[in-house]
Amino acid sequence: MSRSAKFALSGAALVAALTLVAAPAAAQKAGLGREATPEEIKAWDISVRPDGKGLPPGKGTASQGEQIFIAQCATCHGDFGEGRDRWPVLAGGMGSLTHDRPEKTIGSFWPDASTVFDYIRRAMPFGNAQSLKPDEIYALTAYLLNLNEVIKDPAFELNEKNFASIKMPNTANFYDDDREVSEKHFWNRKPCMKACGVRRRRR
């Protein structure tokens, strides 16, 4: 890089830093930083909740999702979500939760379809996160749900309005943390201190 270009860049950085410090009153106490703008917050606010809140407008079918999946996802997850090498398995494993080695996938284990959308939107593909548009994410979600036999029709159009109608097979097996009840015998007890687990000899 030429010397003048380097100087211009560092000058620009300095100006930006000064702009950041000249902040609204709330951040002025320590003279550091500034409030995030509404646009910045909106760009980060991409969570999708199980009740559907946060879903952006958009639509896609499993057939459309298949093309995207093969192009962007199958290298790690396999064409049918069977997982390649050590990358996660996304489909299958139905009924395996009681086996010695349960196979926990979207269909066999996940309680909420919204997690598929949320996770893809936030973090996938690995190494190029947040590159997908809402329509693509609906299509991919539909494809994954189709692989897991939650959506039977590959032409079914998944969108933000009908998303809540998707029912996952394993939802009922999740329950709120109940350790204060189911593990209450771990509280307020006097554990053994001497000769624990040692059986006394009869005389």
Partner 1 sequence: MKHKGRNVLSGLAWSGRGKITRVDVTLDGGRNWQEARIDGLVLEKSLTRFYVDFDWQGQELMVQSRAHNSTGYVQPTKDELRKVRGVDSIYHNNGIPSAWLVRANGETENVEIG
Q: Give the residues lining the site for partner 1 (CB under 8 A).
A: 102, 179, 182-183, 186-189, 191-198
DSSP state of 186: G
- In the bound complex, what is the minimum distance in angstroms from residue 104's beta carbon to partner 1? 9
CB closer to partner 1, 179 vs 202: 179
CB closer to partner 1, 34 vs 104: 104
Give the gyration radius of the chain's Cα atoms: 26
- In the bound complex, what is the minimum distance in angstroms from residue 147's beta carbon to partner 1? 24
Bond preceding residue 125 cis, omega within 30 of 0: yes
- In the bound complex, what is the minimum distance in angstroms from residue 178's beta carbon to partner 1? 10
- In the bound complex, what is the minimum distance in angstroms from residue 100's beta carbon to partner 1? 9
Residue 60 one-letter amino acid: G
Tokens representing 127 are 């190494």
CB closer to partner 1, 63 vs 115: 115
Which residues have a Cβ under 8 Å from the Cβ of 174 and sit 6 or more positions away? Answer: 111
DSSP helix/strand/coil, 124: coil
CB closer to partner 1, 152 vs 190: 190
What is the spatial distance between Cα 4 and Cα 69, in angstroms, rounded to a whole number? Answer: 46
